[in-house]
Amino acid sequence: MDAPQAYTQRRDDARSALEALDRRGAWLANLRTFAFVTFLAVLGLVIFDKLPRLTLLASFLALGAYVALAVVHAKVLNREAREKVRKALNERGLERLTGGWHRFPEKGAAHLPDAHLYATDLDVLGQGSLFQRLDDTGTKAGEAQLARWLLSAAPTAAEVRERQGAVRELASLIDFRQRLVIEARLAGEDKADPTRFIAWTEAPSFLGGIRWAWLVAHTLPVFTIGAGLAAAFSELSSLPFWIGTALQLGVVQATKTPIERMWVALTSGDRGFVRFEETFAAIDAQTFTHPRLVALKAGVQTAGPSVSERLARFARLMGFAELKNSGQMHPVINVLTLWDLHVLFRVERWRAEHGRGVRGWFDALAQLEALSAFAGYTFERPTDVFPEVLDEGFTFEAKGLGHPLLEKPVRNDVALDGPGQALIITGSNMSGKTTLMRTMGLSTVMALAGLPVTATSFRVGRAQVLTSMRVKDSLERGVSYFYAEVQRIKLLLDTARAHPNACLFLLDELFMGTNAKERSLASKHLMRELLSLGAAGAVTTHDLALCELEQELTGKTRNVHFRDVVIEGEMTFDYSLRPGVVTTTNALEVLRRAGVVVPHS
């Protein structure tokens, strides 16, 4: 089944399920109301002697029915929440297939570091970006992992191949991928962030200074409550009860500060994580064959209870701990039983037993989420190919290469024969020069992350991508456009020196902030410098003097171009790459079409 059919079927199934659950939920709500009203009515009639006391049994049966119906209704509401997320997830998949992904709110801009070597120029993060197209993660950790893989190439070609193999297997496991996201999304209104929870599990004990209170909590309330019961059912004095209560009140005051500190740490770190047992249960239930996926599953499988069972136990403990939020009831119960000490010491024991493994659990989950996002893209793009990635030597060979974010890209064959090679691209305005470079750069980023690319074949060596395309001045910093570009070029040169024979540079219209003579001299010098460092890449230019490098640096640079054609007054482009230098320009025609007529002489 292809992606449109799969998403449509699952969306429709979710809609049907929601309709059925809505009807069932309404029926259960009515039954609950009837049961509760019956309970109150019978109880009231018995109290006012309108019915015999034996009828109280019917009242309690109605109350029991109300509780049972409430439990069933809660399960229906939970299923309804899952179906809503499933429906939204498949609608989102259909939007990706029809270009609607540009409206998705997740753009990844928060993960973009300053002065990144390529992310802004190649639309890796931000509006209309690859991240916006890919992101279907359920946690902040998964989102961050996805961004990291897009912002930095895999360390080895072997790592790329491992990711490719895992992605291939996950691409066919649509039900698992969707369940992983659904369960994660149900953990909170927004993407849950495990950072604080992990920090809490790895922090020093909050109760280390009051270990004495553990024994007190397990002995003193027994004495106090026993004394109270004895006083209530016999002629014994109530004084021991009140002495025990006073002592327990003193214990509550003595342990108040560490208890409050632990509670604050728990409530800031726990949000959502009491419900993550179902996410890990989805991993437990899935069988994998690829070694990378098997290893990740092993990362959340431990001796003894499964991670999902351990988190379920944590959820139960937190349920008991939340009595602290019950207002007037909590102080009374806490003084009589030392409730907070009982529960939080058990939470502390959970942390001591499992805390060291929590980071590994969520790291494995984050990688599975990122791989699943890659797999979703692979599932939706069955004609894209996984590239061959090499560790040694610079290589860039692409056939039928198209921009991955365009709906119907024009494809071109592009090759750089080795380190120290460059394409000098000329052409009319809007003819496709910059788009080709973005296609080359983004395809390389995707290849080195483990994604398939829009091509019929693609072979690339591990390379550091360097770009200078969207240089911006800064009034706030007092930086002119030209100086901003100089700073950018300096950064790229320093990187190329640090990675000889292993950089792919993509430069758009160099040194536009200065005059034609200086621009030509500076551009030629920069190209010679980059090529001497073994960097390879492409540069676009309207300065035809730069094309002279093909003769000057024989075998190092190659002139290619795009062109436009004016047919019956209409300017058209075919976006096809051709050898040689462009012989036509369209600047005056573009001005004329904008209403600015410039004489030809």
DSSP state letters, 244-258? HHHHHHHHHHHTHHH
Residues 332 and 436 occupy one common structural domain: no
Structural domain count, the chain:
3
Token pair 């009595």: residue: 323
CA distances from 17 to 76, 238, 270, 374 (A): 11, 60, 31, 29
Q: Give per-residue pLDDT as tens, 128-142.
A: 999 999 999 988 999
pLDDT band at 581 (very low <50, low <70, confident <90, very high): confident
Closest C-alpha to 138, from 86, 190, 195: 190
Task: Examine the fold and report which residue of 68, 98, 128 is the final residue of a domain before the chain moves on.
Answer: 98
pLDDT mean across residues, the chain: 87
Kindly state the average pLDDT of the residues 183-205.
Answer: 82
Same domain, 223 and 87: no
Last residue of one domain, picked from the residues 81, 98, 115:
98
Q: Does 267 reside within a domain?
A: yes
CATH number at residue 575: 3.40.50.300
Q: Residue for token digits 């750089």?
A: 416
Q: Which two tokens stand for residue 196?
A: 């604080």
Within 8 A by CB and 6+ apart from 585, the residues are: 428, 542
Same domain assignment for residues 316 and 426: no
Of the listed ranges 115-119, 563-567, 593-597, the least confidently predicted one is: 593-597
Question: Do 420 and 340 fall within a single domain?
Answer: no
Query: Is residue 229 a part of any domain in this protein?
Result: yes
Which residues does 375 contact at the CB level (< 8 Å), separation at least 6? 166, 167, 168, 169, 170, 171, 173, 177
Position 582 pLDDT exceeds 50: yes
Is 412 found in the same domain as 346?
no
Query: Same structural domain for residues 343 and 430?
Result: no
Task: Tell me if 256 is assigned to some domain.
Answer: yes
Sheet holding 388-390, edge to edge: 388-390, 457-461, 396-401, 412-416
Same domain, 545 and 583: yes
| Band (169; pLDDT cuts 50, 70, 90) | very high
Count other C-beta atoms under 10 Å from residue 525's C-beta. 10
Q: What is the mean pLDDT of residues 300-327?
A: 82
Q: Both 339 and 400 in a single domain?
A: no
Residue 475 binned pLDDT confidence (cut-offs 50, 70, 90): very low
Question: Three-state DSSP class for 382?
Answer: coil
Per the structure block, which two tokens stand in for 441?
């750069």
According to the model, what pLDDT value does residue 569 have? 60
In percent, how much of the chain has pLDDT > 90? 51
Domain span at 47: 1-98
- Looking up tokens 């802004």 gives 120
Indicate whether 239 and 357 sit together in one domain: yes
Site of tokens 């369940």: 179
pLDDT tens per residue, range 365-385: 999 999 999 999 999 999 999
Cβ partners under 8 Å of residue 506, min gap 6: 118, 121, 437, 438, 440, 441, 465, 466, 467, 468, 469, 537, 538, 539
Cα 467 to Cα 152: distance, rounded to the nearest angstrom: 14
pLDDT in the model for residue 492:
94
**Is there a single domain that holds both residue 209 and residue 91?**
no
Comparing 228-242, 290-304, 410-424, 522-536, which segment has the lowest mean pLDDT?
Answer: 228-242
107 falls within a domain: no
pLDDT band (50, 70, 90) for residue 590: low
Domain-located, residue 410: yes
Measured distance CA(46)–CA(57) in Å, rounded: 11
- Ramachandran sector of residue 302 (left: φ over 0; alpha: ψ -120 to 50; beta: rest): beta
pLDDT of residue 474: 47
Residue 425 has pLDDT above 90, yes or no: yes
Both tokens assigned to 546:
């730069």
- Picking from 98, 129, 145, the residue at the C-terminal end of a domain is 98
The token pair at 178 is 């969707």
Residue of 492 and 481 predicted with greater confidence: 492
- Does residue 23 have a pLDDT over 60? yes
Residues 328 and 404 grouped into a single domain: no
Residues 470 and 585 in one domain: yes
In a domain, 141, yes or no: no
